């Protein structure tokens, strides 16, 4: 099975073939497996400790995950979980849709990630529709920002913002939640401003291998001779001005940034391209739940491709 990816402008499109199609095929089948079990640990942790809540945060997160996987409304998610408990003979209470809505706005989820001894990151953003009438403009969309491991396809950090927030704004928060060592951080021209380069440079004190590789903007390329060559912004702009964008992309490995676009494609095809929650706080929890779900699916198996032309 071969797929296509974008090639440099004016060149022929590259073609790739999946090397381990049999294993990847089995992983796709496993994603549709609806075998359900509830571990003893989950049963013990289903109820919240004595207090004002009946259900633990883990129980609410599990219910919202079911909702995300099957693209259900809250009432439908409540009914599905109740039917699963009946089939399994579990005498556990089921959070109703009102509880899921209320707790989903303030659910605390551990969003830290570990980069280990070193990996690269691809950062990008995409728009997610809201359940609003057409013509709502900026109010009808949210922007999801992600930082992806190009090798494994795992999303290490995410931020959901309003649609008019610039792509550079969430980068410090995302990088700040990633522990370990980073290599290159790839991004498109929307991230090529000074704030993003400064953020990566600040992380070099803790992550000494970090380097920002952001596609230089056209104005920077035209004025490259006047930019400081010691900064990443000036160095990359001079490289493009001297050798061209195609040569710069090959030298820096910029094509790895495409991993973020592939991840957005997977997210929207598998889990949908919209958000069902009403408030921004609940939408952020919904987005984080979707990211965790997609990461779990990636753990079941991802394709490994090789270039064939």
> Which residue's structure tokens are 């004025």?
223
Give 65-98 pLDDT, tens digit per residue.
999 999 999 999 999 999 999 998 999 999 999 9
Residue 268, exposed/middle/buried by CB under 10 A (0-12, 13-18, 19+)? middle
> Per this entry, what is the length of the chain?
309
Cα 61 to Cα 65, 82, 223: the distances in Å are 6, 15, 50
pTM of the entire structure? 0.83
Torsion of CA 158, 163, 167, 169, to 10 degrees: -80
pLDDT category of residue 218 using cuts at 50, 70 and 90: very high
Closest CA to 122 of 239, 250, 259, 220: 259
Give 90-109 pLDDT, tens digit per residue.
999 999 999 999 999 999 89
Domains and CATH numbers, the chain: 40-104 (no CATH), 113-277 (3.30.420)
* DSSP summary character for residue 271: H
Alpha carbons within 13 angstroms on the beta-carbon side of residue 188 total 12
Dihedral pair phi/psi, residue 212, rounded to 5°: -85, 130
């Amino acid at each position: 099975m071969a797929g296509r990816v974008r090639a440099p402008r004016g060149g022929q499109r590259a073609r790739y073939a999946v090397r381990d199609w049999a294993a990847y095929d089995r992983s796709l089948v496993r994603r549709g497996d609806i075998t359900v079990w509830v571990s003893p640990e989950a049963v013990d942790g289903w109820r919240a400790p004595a207090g004002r809540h009946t259900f633990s945060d883990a129980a609410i997160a599990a219910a919202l995950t079911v909702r995300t996987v099957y693209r259900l409304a809250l009432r439908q998610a409540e009914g599905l979980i109740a039917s699963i408990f009946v089939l399994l003979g579990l005498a556990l209470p089921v959070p109703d849709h009102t509880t899921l809505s209320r707790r989903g706005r303030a659910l605390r989820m551990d969003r830290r990630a570990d980069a280990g001894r070193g990996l690269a990151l691809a950062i990008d953003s995409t728009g997610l529709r809201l359940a609003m009438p057409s013509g709502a403009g900026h109010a009808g969309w949210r922007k999801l920002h992600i930082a992806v491991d190009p090798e494994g396809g795992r999303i290490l950090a995410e931020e959901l913002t309003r649609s008019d927030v610039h792509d550079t704004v969430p980068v410090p928060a995302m990088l700040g939640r990633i522990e370990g060592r980073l290599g290159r951080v790839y991004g498109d021209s929307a991230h090529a401003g000074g704030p993003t380069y400064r953020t990566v440079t600040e992380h070099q004190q803790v992550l000494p291998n970090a380097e920002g590789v952001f596609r230089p903007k056209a104005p920077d390329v035209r004025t490259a001779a006047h930019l400081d060559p010691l900064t990443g912004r000036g160095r990359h702009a001079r490289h493009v001005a001297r050798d061209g964008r195609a040569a710069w992309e090959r030298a820096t490995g910029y094509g790895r940034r495409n991993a973020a676009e592939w991840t957005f494609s997977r997210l929207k095809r598998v889990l949908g391209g919209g958000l069902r929650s009403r408030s921004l706080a609940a939408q952020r929890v919904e987005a984080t739940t979707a990211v965790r779900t997609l990461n779990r699916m990636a753990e079941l198996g991802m394709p490994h491709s090789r270039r064939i032309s």
